[in-house]
A = this chain, B = another copy of it.
């Protein structure tokens, strides 16, 4: 059994603190030394990708110290406990099994009297069979016509991850002849969300995927009713247009309101559910089960790297601990995620949930307050768009914001244009290369308004192309990074008690059981 200790009780953390400010990034990244760093400060990832940390404020000595921290905090041992089925989610007393949806890292995990790996594979296979039948027209609408659109109804983890993954592969699938159905997403309880989506689709040829683990998520059930109303008004039988993704114990599991039901369980948190049936149904319907299987394979390959005890061979663990160094020792409050890939336009929003909901905690796994900062604010937009937006503050603002770049050598759609001697793809890649160096090295100018201080740290994940496998590997990398940071901060990354109070108070408002400020706000909003 691993020992769970607060970060500030570890001797290796105190050793790390003593190295604060020992790396002059601007100097380190200059000249031949900078070139050497780019060549050597790189950890291989799955699918030929690499995590390059040359432009981080670390050197061999600090990475050694991070390795000591990983060892003392028993990070890979804790990961092994997790994938072998320990109750890692201590708050809710649950196993944490999302890695098991895509591969078997350790011993068989038996829970609820079943082999959980077999359970997840069974669901994946059931979805594949269903999706193939839809694509073949064997499952069709009342007029016997093929479904052309799939609409996911879900919120939070049932929305952000699957939506980000869909957008990430839409153009790839169109280019590679495996685009089967367009996908849309309804999430917000704002009725304008559902109304807006329903206005843009042909409901007679749409299949809706209702996603709620408990079967009781208010936003999702409300939007289901909204959709059912619309289907009824169009003279359509809703039960022939809707499937459910839920837990086996939920009221949706055996309801006749759905064409089919596919299952997840309590061991997969919403924000980690893209590889389960939550992502599997909509992605298999949109792109075919083979594409979804490749996505899982990429994630599984990357997961294996996260078991390495050597921090220089474990990109997620290294990324995680550099982040802890930046957050706790250097004191930076935020991290920006900047993919130079339009397909990853919503990937930062997904990571914002995955990271901030997991590690935005003030108590440790034992319910005791911690005396150090935990999860940072995560935000981001794709480059080059961000360059024309908030990069001004990143370059010349008063706070230092660590940056997480992502870039690919090739685009997805295959079409491009040459202007001023270079393709758009070359311009895109030139920009991300330029930004890393601009942030790290800066540029002196006598006019301080044009001066760049430099020493602003970044890392980059570089790959050949954003394929299904590469996307799976990327997702796994960040999920595991978040997990390792949670282990290091000694928090439980797998519950979210902070979302409960708002739910309770909203119910009171709707029941008109309010007083004081809450009553006044209710009146102000005319509820």
Would you call A379 and B377 a contact (CB within 8 A)?
Answer: yes
* A20 contacts partner chain B, Cβ-Cβ < 8 Å: no
Would you call B189 and A427 a contact (CB within 8 A)?
Answer: yes
Would you call B195 and A171 a contact (CB within 8 A)?
Answer: yes
B-chain residues with CB within 8 Å of residue A397 when the two chains form the complex? 356, 360-362, 374-375, 498
Interface residue from B38, B358, B388 paired with A499 (Cβ < 8 Å): B388
Would you call B188 and A524 a contact (CB within 8 A)?
Answer: no
Residue of B nearest to A32 (CB): B516
* A201 contacts partner chain B, Cβ-Cβ < 8 Å: no
* A221 contacts partner chain B, Cβ-Cβ < 8 Å: yes
* A326 contacts partner chain B, Cβ-Cβ < 8 Å: no
A341: min CB distance to chain B, Å: 6
A335-374 interface bits toward B, Cβ cutoff 8 Å, 1 = contact, 0 = none: 0000011110000010011001111111100011110111
Would you call A37 and B517 a contact (CB within 8 A)?
Answer: yes
| Chain A stretch 366-411: residues in CB contact (< 8 A) with chain B | 367-370, 372-379, 381-385, 387-399, 401, 407, 409, 411
- Alpha-carbon distance between A451 and B500 when the two chains are bound, in angstroms: 10
* A107 contacts partner chain B, Cβ-Cβ < 8 Å: no
Would you call B188 and A520 a contact (CB within 8 A)?
Answer: no
Would you call A419 and B221 a contact (CB within 8 A)?
Answer: yes
- Alpha-carbon distance between A446 and B503 when the two chains are bound, in angstroms: 19
* A54 contacts partner chain B, Cβ-Cβ < 8 Å: yes
* A496 contacts partner chain B, Cβ-Cβ < 8 Å: yes
Would you call A367 and B517 a contact (CB within 8 A)?
Answer: no
Residue of B nearest to A442 (CB): B501
Would you call A517 and B440 a contact (CB within 8 A)?
Answer: yes
- Alpha-carbon distance between A147 and B400 when the two chains are bound, in angstroms: 47
Would you call A427 and B498 a contact (CB within 8 A)?
Answer: no
- Alpha-carbon distance between A385 and B395 when the two chains are bound, in angstroms: 30
* A423 contacts partner chain B, Cβ-Cβ < 8 Å: yes
Would you call A500 and B450 a contact (CB within 8 A)?
Answer: yes
A506: min CB distance to chain B, Å: 4
A contact residues, range: 35 or more
**Given A377-B399, A393-B356, A521-B436, A171 and B190 touching (CB < 8 A)?**
no
B-chain residues with CB within 8 Å of residue A2 when the two chains form the complex? none
| Chain A stretch 1-53: residues in CB contact (< 8 A) with chain B | 29-32, 34-35, 37-39, 52
Residue of B nearest to A223 (CB): B424
B-chain residues with CB within 8 Å of residue A142 when the two chains form the complex? none
B-chain residues with CB within 8 Å of residue A421 when the two chains form the complex? 510
Would you call A462 and B525 a contact (CB within 8 A)?
Answer: yes
- Alpha-carbon distance between A441 and B507 when the two chains are bound, in angstroms: 17
* A155 contacts partner chain B, Cβ-Cβ < 8 Å: yes
**Given A505-B438, A506-B434, A159 and B385 touching (CB < 8 A)?**
yes
Would you call B191 and A225 a contact (CB within 8 A)?
Answer: no
Interface residue from B29, B333, B413, B518 paired with A196 (Cβ < 8 Å): B413
B-chain residues with CB within 8 Å of residue A438 when the two chains form the complex? 501-502, 505
Would you call B191 and A415 a contact (CB within 8 A)?
Answer: yes
B-chain residues with CB within 8 Å of residue A447 when the two chains form the complex? 367
B-chain residues with CB within 8 Å of residue A35 when the two chains form the complex? 515-517, 519-520
Residue of B nearest to A424 (CB): B191
A442: min CB distance to chain B, Å: 8
